[in-house]
Amino acid sequence: MQTVTLNNGIKIPILGFGTYQITDPKEAEQAVIDAIKAGYRHIDTAQSYMNEEAVGRGIAASGVRREELFITTKIWVENVSYDGVKASFQRSLDRLGLEYVDLLLLHQPYNDVYGAWRAMEELQEVGKIRAIGVSNFAVDRAVDLAEFNKVIPQVDQIEINPFNQQTKNIEALKAEGITPEAWAPFAEGKNGIFTNEILSNIGKKYNKSVAQVIVRWLIEQEVIVLAKSVKPERMAENLAVFDFDLSAEDKAAIATLNEGESQFFSHADPEMIRWMASRKMNV
């Protein structure tokens, strides 16, 4: 598996298995087992996904040594404070059945981000977390966090897909030493992405699926990709992307799909911020 080296020297597999919306405990556990069996070594979860226990059971049942795996979880908004991180991160570790995680992210750019970050720095110092980062942070917010704290975020996990390509933000994050990571690379199937003519025609050239074309497009930008499926055959397919290269013509065609806006919602929308602030999950 190809890796990306973060700004603190930690290596992360460039292709990870996402577990968002896999809420049934048995299905989530089996999906993690199947993903690791298929060859994934990078597993991504979050407090708000409500599946950390099932993910932990899948990790334990996989038979793969802990040090061969890269595990990410995220702190939900209600826990974004110094004390909130310290308490809720331990609960996440307990649910996962782990002694440490490889990457811990602040899931959203709200609440007491700076207090939370100081707690994460301390947890990193004592070896409970190997890398720390953010999710859904605009570049200016990530840079602000970096400039006024000891540790520069190692990762910013943001929405990146053919309809919301974030090219300038990817470049800006890299310039700051922050590695971009893509959530919703397939836009959760929106806009008929899996039957898109441009992506389908590129796939036909290489005997690849639309999903494989998208994953390859991101990998060639050195963006970490999170792909999700509960079907073992799709898991294997999404991993089979290291035997072809997109041409400049292919990339130019994909660039024409960019709509320049989220396929889901704006993180600057006051109504969304209020909704997240009110969403108490007791995680």
The C-alpha angle with vertex 51 and arms to 30 and 56, in degrees rounded to 5, equals: 60
Question: Which are the contacts of 78, defined by CB distance < 8 A and separation ≥ 6?
Answer: 84, 111, 279, 280, 281, 282, 283
Give the pLDDT band of residue 265 (cuts 50, 70, 90): confident
Burial class (CB in 10 A: 0-12, 13-18, 19+), 39: middle
The answer for residues whose C-beta is within 8 angstroms of residue 57's C-beta and 6 or more apart is 29, 32, 97
b/e 187-198 (16+ beta carbons within 10 angstroms → b): beeeeebeebeb
What pLDDT does residue 230 have? Answer: 93
CATH number of the domain where residue 33 is located: 3.20.20.100
Question: Angle at Cα 149 formed by Cα 144 and Cα 155, nearest 5°?
Answer: 65
> Which one from 20, 40, 49, 114 is the annotated catalytic residue?
49
**If pLDDT is split at 50, 70 and 90, which confidence band does 85 have?**
very high
* Predicted TM-score of the model (pTM): 0.96
Residue 63, in any domain of the structure: yes
- In tens, the pLDDT along 151-195 reads 999 999 999 999 999 999 999 999 999 999 999 999 999 999 999
Binned at pLDDT 50, 70 and 90, residue 279 comes out as: confident
| Domain annotation covers residue 155 | yes
Residue 24 in contact with residue 58, Cβ under 8 Å? no
163 occurs within a structural domain: yes
What is the pLDDT averaged over residues 93-114?
98
Confidence grade of residue 86 (pLDDT, cut at 50, 70, 90): very high
Higher pLDDT, 258 or 282: 258
Look at residues 39, 45, 75 and name the one whose alpha carbon lies nearest to residue 57. Answer: 45
Residue 156 three-state SS: strand
String of DSSP letters for 165-199: --HHHHHHHHHTTPEEEEE-TTGGGGGGGGG-HHH
pLDDT (0 to 100) of residue 266: 87
Least confident span in 119-123, 155-159, 234-238, 275-279: 275-279
How far apart CA 55 and CA 271 sit, in angstroms, is 31
Kindly state whether residue 283 falls inside one of the protein's structural domains. no
pLDDT tens by residue, 20-63: 999 999 999 999 999 999 999 999 999 999 999 999 999 999 99
* 203: CB partners within 8 A, 6+ apart: 209, 210, 212, 213
Which pLDDT band, with edges at 50, 70 and 90, does 119 fall under? very high
Tell whether the model's pLDDT for residue 239 goes beyond 90. yes
Q: Which domain holds residue 262?
A: 3-278
pLDDT for 142:
97
Look at residue 104 and tell me if it is in a domain: yes
Q: In this prediction, what percent of the chain has a pLDDT beyond 70?
A: 100
Mean pLDDT of 62-71: 97
Q: Is 82 a catalytic residue?
A: no
Report, as an integer, the average pLDDT of 245-257. 98
Whether residue 244 is predicted with pLDDT greater than 90 in this model: the reply is yes
Cα distance between residue 140 and residue 124, in whole Å: 23
For the annotated binding site for substrate, the residues are: 107
pLDDT value for 51 = 97
Average model confidence (pLDDT) across the chain: 97
Alpha carbons 10 and 100: distance in angstroms, whole number: 14
DSSP state of 68: G
The total number of structural domains in the chain stands at 1
Nearest residue to 283 (alpha-carbon basis) of 34, 28, 30, 48: 48
pLDDT band, very low/low/confident/very high, at 281 (cuts 50, 70, 90): confident
Task: Evaluate whether 75 touches 47 at the Cβ level (below 8 Å).
Answer: yes
- Residues annotated in the binding site, as ranges? 107
Instruction: State the pLDDT at residue 74.
Output: 98
For residues 102 and 123, the answer to whether their CB atoms sit within 8 Å is: no
204: pLDDT strictly greater than 90: yes
Cβ-proximal residues to 97 (8 Å cutoff; 6+ apart), any chain: 56, 57, 59, 60
State residue 101 phi and psi, 5-degree precision: -120, 160
Question: What's the rounded Cα separation, in Å, for the pair 49 and 43?
Answer: 13
The predicted structure's pLDDT at residue 268: 87
